[in-house]
Each structure stands twice: as structure tokens, then as C-alpha cells.
Amino acid sequence: MAAILSALKISIATFWSILEYSSPMVNLVWSYLSVFAFSFILGKILESSLSVKPSSKKEEPLPSFRFSKPFSVGEKKITEVWRRRVIYCLQHERVEIITNDQGNRTTPSYVAFTDKERLIGEAAKNQAAMNPINTVFDAKRLIGRKFHDVSVQKDIELWPFKVVAGPCNKPMIIVEYKGEEKQFAAEEISSMVLTKMRDIAVDYLGSDIKNAVITVPAYFNDSQRQSTKDAGFIAGLNVLSIISEPTAAAIAYGLEKDNGNTFGKNVLIFDLGGGTFDISLLTITGSKLEVKATAGDTHLGGEDFDSRMVNHFVREFKRKHKKDISGNPRAIRRLRTACERAKRTLSSMVQTTIEVDCLYEGIDFCSTVTRARFEELNMDLFRKCLELVDNCLQDAKMEKHSIHDVVLVGGSTRIPKVQRLLEDFFHGKEVCKSINPDEAVAFGAAIQAAKLSGIGNKKVKDLVVLDVTPLSLGIDTQGGVMSVVIPRNTAIPTKKEQKYFTASDSGGADIDIYQGERTKCADNHLLGKFRLSSSPPVRKGFPITVCFQFDNNGILTVSAEMKSVQRNQITITNIKDSLRKEEIEKMLEDAEKYKLEDKEYKRKAQARNALEDYAYYMRSTVNDKEIRSKLSAVDKKRIEEAIEQMDLWLEKNELAEAEEFLHEKEELESIYDAITAKIQLR
């Protein structure tokens, strides 16, 4: 058994894609965050023949949760996927899913702070309506972004929790924890979820987890990817690799559909989750998966569909009752939960009812919504998805008829209108529903983790994945115009050179590296910069050769050379907007502190429960007819008074330490033992 465990690998597939096509206002992670979500994927692959077919049946007796990213730990692997998290274990020659501590297959990426404790996952989500301003979700939509990003500002208007500008324009989440105001970066929130999921995996495996493979939305830029790595590091994980979610889903599809054919098959992965939308077009030939093009929107998913319904009913409530509930976080949270539930119901029914008791100022709210109305509210978003599919086809230089399969991934693909529009777009081609849309990404990440670990059968070991750059890379040129060196959807690894000329007589040139698709550099993402000096100064029009080299691990090396004069380069492994070393070290210290606080709170809760259980046992014993008949009136009164005093003590000492609860229990035990000893002597 020890040999098998040592070969085990876990993969957590991403900090931040949701399981149910939406996540409440849920919720990256990071969802990422996030998403990415962060759900773990534990992969344990036996060296013998492996049947890797992800189940699409709800009755499958195996558990799981899903994130928007993936990890692997020590001799194990995990996969995280932002909104939700899923844990897979590859054993018995098939993929298995591990339930979380609540016994469920999915875990929402929520973190809540109260005056007593920190809650993560379902416990956090379940109390969100009572504590909306201190319940954090959607870390995936903050991770790797700037506070003044347009998308961040739009989300802030919807979130009940507070987000402010921190150092270097970094968004910081404000909550109240144990009576004190605390600030957290999105990476910290995501790391808390990852830590929770890792602990679940450790409990299941009975051994530590250290390494991780992480999946992220295909359209995450380098800053978002690096921030996701930081979240994994803060969670105590060594991130071995990051792969795109659609690519992970394609791995799941490729292994499930592998029938020995060697000819190329063009497959479009349509990944619509809770917070992000990705499309990847791949050619699958045997064990080789070659990404041809990607497209997507990191701010489009089930949460946006929920928001349309919420806004619709806010207007209806105002129209009916002349009251505006948009500024009440608790009312909006409760309404959003009802809308999310209604959205899921409308996937199987044509009409449903929204009911929220005492929604605002004692007013009950009840309304109906039809599937047609839901589709009308979101039609522009659905059509935007199709526009991005068309863009992906154009980038890959493929026609609709050349696509062999359209694979649905992500909970939001369960929406009937989305499926119909997609089938109409491909001239009636039936979409592929043979793989579980909630678990495909996690499944693929687990397989990738197994491959990186060198375990599994020949099919897994022979797997080759060729990815592409999701966004263009280039430099700033005269007038602030971005000159593209590596166009988006270029196969990686790659190396490209381009020649430029100095714009004036000078002693050198500044090389500013950007990522994005806009013409103006200011509208794109600055990755890094360096100075190419020249002594003596060169004249206007002097040639400069710029070389971009992008490897499989996402490391970009940019060099520039003035022939016969000077050469300089920069290797971009830590993106400009990612956390500084000292910031990560501080977050690691905080994470350890919060972990100890959680452990102590759990110890207190267990001690209090033990005290209350013992008091209940004493009360039950006194009420037992047989024992009661043997007690003297004095002893009976003494027990009843002891229990009553204990109840009063508990009311006044809710925040007592564990030792105090244990001491009170010992007092009760001494009273009870002394009295029962007298009965035995009789």
C-alpha cells in the first residue's frame, strides 16, 4: 500500500470555473480566483492499465469538487478550479472523486469572517445572507487585476463586501474579523480556499501534500497567472505547472474518446462557467493535443446571468412597493441566492417562482419568471459567446464544417438556450455531452499531473499537449503604439525576432514589453521594461534587433541588441503586478496565524460541545425513572442545580477558552461521579 501511495498524485484544477453554471453572487478566485473560484483533484494513477472515463452520471458513487485551477502535492497531485473545487483520486484504474468534509462533491469558493472565527467553503456560503459584508467570493475576478480596471469597478457595485485601492493600485478586500478591520489581497482569499481543500486531501490520503498543478482560464494574462501561482505558494503548495482550463478539458475528452485513430480530429471546447468564458480549438491526433486558437472573456459567466435576474427583480420590487433595495447587501444577497436557484430550475422547467420572505422592511417578495424571460434578459451575453466562437474559428483559419465535435464544459452550458444557439451556429451539429461539464477540467488536470509525475499507463505517459499564447506580446514604439512580436495563438515554445530603428539621436532605447490586443500600449498590460544603453550615442535610424523567447512554462525572455554596440535582456518570470517577495512572506505568516487561530477555535468548539453533551447526559440520567428512583432528593437537587449553573455560565462565557470549558466539565463529572458512586454502594 505504501508503494501505491508514494506513486499517488493529486491535481487541483482552477483558482477560480464553476460547477453549477453559475455561482451565487458567489463567487476567482480567483470564482480563479475564483476563480481561479480555488476544490482539489487528487489523482492516484496505478501503473497498470488505466481506464480514464469521467462519469457524467449523478449516481456515480464517487465524490468531487471543482475549482478554476489545479495543484499537485508532494507525491500527490491536486487540481483547483476557482468557483468550486473538486478532488479526484485516480485509483482502481479509473478517476474517483473525493467528497469534502460536508460529504458533497462540490465546494464553493467562499471565505467568511465573523467575530469568532473564519469559515471556508459551504459553511461560509450558508451564512452569507446574515453576514454579507464579511463574506468574500469572486476572488477570481480580482486576482491579478488593478483596482481601477473597468471590470473591477463594475463588480464592486455588485459585491456586498468592500474593496479599496491598496499599494500600487492593487485591490484590497476589507472585512471585520474578531472585532478588527482586516485587509486581504485576492491571492490571500484564494489561498485560504486552497489550504482548506489541501487539508481535505491530506485527511483522505493520510499523508502530506506539497506540489500542485493549477488550471486557469485560457484568457488569463500573465499577471493573473502569476498571481494564481502566488496564491498556491501562500497555501504552502509548490506549483509545478499551470495549464488552461479548456486544454485540461480537451485532455479529458481526448482520453475518453481515444479509439486508436491516428487522424486529426478538430475539437472546439466551449467552456462557460460561473465567472469566465473560454473557447479553445484543438486538433487531436492520437495522444497529441495541439491547440490551434483560443478566445474568451474573463468576465462572462453564470454570475452575470444571475445579475441580470437580480436587477430585473430589483426593478420589479421598486415598481410594486416603491422601495429601492439595491443598497441593502442582505436583501440583495438573499435575492441573488433565489435567482441562482431559479436559473438552475429553468434548465429543466419553463417557469419557476421566486419567493423571499421578509425581503426588505418586512415585505415578502413573490414573483414568477419564465425561461423565455430569462433568455431575453441574457440574450446579448449569449450572443457575445457566439461572437467569440466565431473569432476563435477565424484565428484558427477553420470553417464551421471542419469542426468534428463541440464539447461543453462548465455549469453554465446546461442552459438550454446556450446549447440551442451553439447547435444552430454549427448548422445543426449536436453538441457533445458525454463528459461531465463540471468535472472535465479537474479530470484533465489530474491526468496532466499524473504525466508530470511520470506515473500512469502508456496512454497517459505518451500524452503531448501543445498550447498557444492566448494574448499578443510586443513592445512600445513611437506614439505609444504597440508593435506585436508574438501574435496571439502562436504555438509555444516559440522564438521571434523583429528589427526596429531608433527614433532620434540618443544614448540608447527603452524597451517596454506589453501583452494584449489593443493598438495603444496604455490599453494593454505592461509586463516589464529595461534600458538598452549606447555609448557613444547612436544616430536616428540605428537598427535594434528585439528577440522574444516564450517557453513551455510561460517564461518570457526578451533581449535587445544594437549591433556592434550593446546588448541587454530581461527574463520575465515574476510579472510586474505580482506580489513582491516581502508581501508573500507576510501573507505566509498571516496564513499560518489564521490556521492556528482556526485550530484553536475548533478546539474550543469541541470542548464546549463536550461540556454540553455531558450536561445533556446528566440531565437524561436524572430523568431516567429507574435511576431517579434511587436518587435522594438532595442529590437530585444538587445535579439539577449544577446543570442550571452550567447553563448560566455558558450564556455568560461564550468566548471562554478551551481549558475553561474542560474545567467546567470536570466539575460536573466530579459531582455526578460522587452521586452515582453512592447509588452503586447501595
> CB-side exposure of 586: number of CA atoms within 13 Å?
9
Cα distance between the two ends of the chain: 55
C-alpha separations of 601 from 115, 119, 598, 660 in Å? 12, 11, 5, 13
Across the chain, what does the average pLDDT equal? 80
pLDDT band at 143 (very low <50, low <70, confident <90, very high): very high
- Residues 233, 109 share a domain: yes
pLDDT band at residue 70, thresholds of 50, 70 and 90?
very low
Position 565 scores a pLDDT of 56
Domain membership flag for residue 411:
no
On whether the CB atoms of residues 292 and 284 are closer than 8 A, the answer is no
What count of other Cβ atoms lies within 10 Å of the Cβ of residue 427? 8
pLDDT digits (tens, 9 = 90+) for 392-419: 999 999 999 999 999 999 999 999 999 9
- Looking at 340, 360, 377, the residue that finishes a domain is 377
Are both 110 and 233 inside the same structural domain? yes
Q: What's the pLDDT score for residue 589?
A: 72
Element (H, E) at 475: strand 473-477
**What is the 8-class DSSP label of residue 450?**
H
Q: What are phi and psi of 298, to 5 degrees?
A: -75, 5
C-beta separation of 67 from 61 below 8 A: no
How far, rounded to the nearest angstrom, does the alpha carbon of residue 415 sit from its chain's CA centroid?
A: 21
Identify the CA nearest to 20 among candidates 77, 104, 94: 104
Domain that holds residue 642: 582-681
Taking residues 609-613, report their average pLDDT.
87
- Identify any residues that bridge with 572 across adjacent strands, giving them in sequence order: 556
Domain count, the chain: 4
Q: Phi then psi for 591, rounded to 5 degrees?
A: -60, -40
| Higher-pLDDT residue of 48, 569 | 569
Cell of 11: 491535481
Would the pTM count as exceeding 0.75? Answer: no
pLDDT of 626: 77
Higher-confidence position of 487 and 438: 487
The torsion angles phi and psi of 286, rounded to 5 degrees, stand at 60, -120
Q: Are residues 132 and 222 in the same domain?
A: yes
- Among 366, 402, 211, 448, smallest CA distance to 292 is for 402
Nearest-angstrom CA–CA distance, 411 and 378: 16
Boundary residue ending a domain (578, 613, 637): 578
C-alpha closest to that of 502 among 466, 532, 545, 544: 544
For residue 11, being part of any structural domain is answered with no
CA 248/CA 146 separation, integer angstroms: 28
- State the sign of the Cα–Cα–Cα–Cα dihedral 224, 120, 118, 115: positive
Q: Among 208, 200, 197, which Cα is nearest to 76's?
A: 208
Residue 62 has pLDDT above 50, yes or no: no
pLDDT at position 606 is 85
How high is the pLDDT of residue 523? 85
34 CA to centre of own chain: 3
Q: And the C-alpha cell for 370?
A: 419564465
Is there a single domain that holds both residue 184 and residue 118?
yes
The region of weakest confidence among 87-101, 119-133, 441-455, 490-504 is 87-101
For residue 269, the cross-strand partners are: 280, 407
Q: Which pLDDT score is estimated for 56? A: 40
Q: Residue 127 has what pLDDT?
A: 93
pLDDT of residue 40: 37
What's the longest Cα–Cα distance across the chain? 112
Question: What is the tens place of the pLDDT at every residue in 303-362?
Answer: 999 999 999 999 999 999 999 999 999 999 999 999 999 999 999 999 999 999 999 999
Give residue-wise pLDDT tens across range 244-268. 899 999 988 887 776 555 568 999 9
**What gap in Å lies between CA 199 and CA 212, rounded to an integer?**
13
Q: Do 113 and 230 belong to one domain?
A: yes
pLDDT the model gives residue 599 = 77
629 in the same domain as 560: no
Give me Rg for the CA atoms of the chain.
28
Least confident of 168-182, 464-478, 581-595, 665-679: 581-595
Asked if residue 475 and residue 352 are part of one domain, the reply reads no
Query: Which are the contacts of 67, defined by CB distance < 8 A and separation ≥ 6?
Result: 12, 13, 14, 15, 16, 17, 29, 32, 34, 35, 36, 37, 38, 39, 40, 79, 80, 81, 82, 83, 84, 85, 86, 109, 193, 194, 197, 215, 442
The upper half-sphere exposure of residue 1, i.e. CA atoms within 13 Å in the direction of its Cβ, equals: 3
Tell me: do 552 and 587 sit in the same domain: no
152/133 Cα distance (integer angstroms): 17
Residues 537 and 619 in one domain: no
Q: What DSSP designation does 471 have? A: S
How far apart are the C-alpha atoms of 458 and 345, rounded to whole Å?
43
Please indicate, yes or no, whether residues 532 and 634 belong to a single structural domain of this protein.
no
With a pLDDT cut of 70, the percent of the chain lying above it is 80
Count of C-beta atoms within a 10 Å radius of residue 453: 23
| d(C-alpha 440, C-alpha 419), whole Å | 17
Q: Are residues 491 and 587 in the same domain?
A: no
> Cis before residue 493, ω within 30 degrees of 0?
yes
- Kindly report, residue by residue over 17-38, the tens digit of the pLDDT: 333 344 443 343 333 333 333 3
Residue 22 domain-assigned?
A: no
Let me know whether 586 and 573 are in one domain: no
Asked if pLDDT for residue 87 goes beyond 60, the answer is no
Q: Is the peptide bond before 171 cis (omega within 30 degrees of 0)?
A: no
Is 170 a domain residue? yes
For residue 24, what are the contacts with CB-CB under 8 A and spacing of at least 6?
A: 108, 125, 128, 137, 303, 306, 336, 337, 340
- Is residue 439 over pLDDT 60? yes
Q: Which three cell numbers stand for residue 177?
A: 474579523
Domain endpoint, select from 316, 351, 377: 377
Whether 130 is covered by a domain: the verdict is yes
The enclosing domain of 646 has a CATH number of 1.20.1270.10
Instruction: Spell out where 492-524 has E strands.
Output: 494-501, 506-515
Q: Helices (DSSP H) in 346-470: which residue ranges?
A: 371-396, 416-425, 440-452, 458-461
Handedness of CA 595, 599, 605, 608 (dihedral sign): negative
Q: Residue 181: give its domain's CATH number.
A: 3.30.420.40
Tell me the β-bridge partners of 369.
352
Cα–Cα distance list, 462 to 207, 215, 252, 447, 585 (Å)? 29, 20, 14, 11, 39
CB-based contact 483:532 (threshold 8 Å): no
Q: Is residue 295 part of a domain?
A: no
DSSP code for 128: T
What strands lie across the sheet with 473-477, from one edge to the other? Answer: 481-486, 473-477, 506-515, 525-538
pLDDT at residue 259, as a whole number: 59
- Predicted pLDDT at 258: 66
Among candidates 270, 277, 291, which has minimal Cα distance to 435?
Answer: 270
- Best CA proximity match to 344, nearest among 91, 3, 19, 5: 19
Q: Of 584, 554, 560, 589, whose CA–CA distance to 572 is shortest? A: 554
CA 567 to chain CA centroid, nearest Å: 41
With contact defined as beta carbons under 8 Å apart, do 400 and 426 qualify?
A: yes
Q: Evaluate whether residue 100 is within a structural domain.
A: no
**Residue length, the chain?**
682
Q: What is residue 536's predicted lDDT score, i.e. its pLDDT? A: 72
Instruction: Give 537-550 pLDDT, tens digit per residue.
Output: 778 888 889 999 98
Question: Would you state the pLDDT for residue 59?
Answer: 35
Grid cell at residue 504: 532620434
Q: Please report, for the domain that includes residue 555, its CATH number.
A: 2.60.34.10
Band (578; pLDDT cuts 50, 70, 90): low
Q: For residue 206, how many C-alpha atoms fall within 13 Å in the half-sphere facing its CB?
A: 5
Alpha carbon distance 448, 294 (integer Å):
19
Taking Cα atoms as reference points, which of 407, 410, 405, 463 lies closest to residue 439? 410
Residue 254 belongs to a domain:
no
Average the pLDDT over each of 98-107, 200-209, 447-456, 570-579 and give the range with the smallest value: 570-579
CATH number of the domain encompassing residue 318: 3.90.640.10
Q: Is the pLDDT of residue 366 over 70?
A: yes
Lowest mean pLDDT among 223-227, 596-600, 655-659: 596-600
Distance CA 142, CA 164 (A): 11
